[in-house]
């Protein structure tokens, strides 16, 4: 049996996942992080994106996070996010609508603040759509 790490994914609303994983992948602000058991301690910010957990039974769980904080200890990983959803619970129509709204806002911007807000909305919408796409690929045709 492979060594595992305990993973907790928590949003402001609820705990989404608490269990063992062989490997955890998360969207750090400086790039994708791969975390396995005995990883060095680390705290970093997360950008909007997908957290993947490779489970001991060989399956993978996919989650969307709107950003947040990742804490890594040698045998525990904690993801804290304002918004976190299982990838299968992401509303594709709402994500597409948010993407279109952000594109329109980027074109209609009046200030740098408007542009920054539109870019943040676009990043979240794209991350949700990528999580949906990855889940589809994992399930297969």
Q: What CATH number is given for 5-87 in this structure?
A: 2.60.15.10
| Model confidence pTM above 0.75 | no
Mean pLDDT of the chain: 85
- Categorise residue 68: left if φ over 0, alpha if ψ from -120 to 50, beta otherwise: left
Band of pLDDT at residue 131, cut at 50, 70 and 90 = confident
Name 103's Cβ contacts closer than 8 Å, sequence gap at least 6.
Answer: 122
Q: What is the DSSP letter of 29?
A: T
- Write down the number of H helices and E strands in the chain: 2, 10
Name 93's Cβ contacts closer than 8 Å, sequence gap at least 6.
Answer: none
Domain limits of the chain?
5-87, 88-139
Burial (CB count <10 Å: 0-12, 13-18, 19+), residue 76: middle
Phi, then psi, of 32 in degrees rounded to 5? -65, 135
Residue 61 to residue 90: CA distance in whole angstroms: 14
Terminal CA-CA length for the chain: 30
pLDDT of 42 over the 90 cut? yes
Residue 129 to residue 28: CA distance in whole angstroms: 18
Q: What is the DSSP letter of 89?
A: G
Select the highest-mean-pLDDT range: 67-71, 93-97, 125-129, 137-141: 67-71
Beta bridge partners of 3: none
């Amino acid at each position: 049996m492979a060594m595992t790490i305990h993973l907790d994914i928590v949003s402001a609303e609820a705990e989404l996942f608490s269990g063992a994983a062989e490997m955890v992948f998360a969207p750090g602000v400086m790039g994708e992080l791969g975390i396995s058991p005995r990883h060095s301690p680390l705290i970093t910010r997360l950008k909007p994106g997908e957290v993947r957990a490779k489970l001991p039974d060989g399956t993978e769980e996919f989650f969307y996070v709107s950003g947040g904080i990742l804490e890594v200890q040698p045998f525990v990983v904690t993801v804290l996010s304002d918004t976190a959803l299982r990838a299968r619970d992401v509303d594709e129509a709402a994500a597409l609508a948010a993407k279109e709204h952000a594109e329109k806002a980027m074109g209609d911007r009046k200030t740098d603040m408007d542009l920054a807000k539109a870019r943040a909305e676009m990043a979240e919408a794209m991350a949700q759509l990528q999580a949906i796409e990855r889940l589809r690929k994992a399930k297969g045709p």
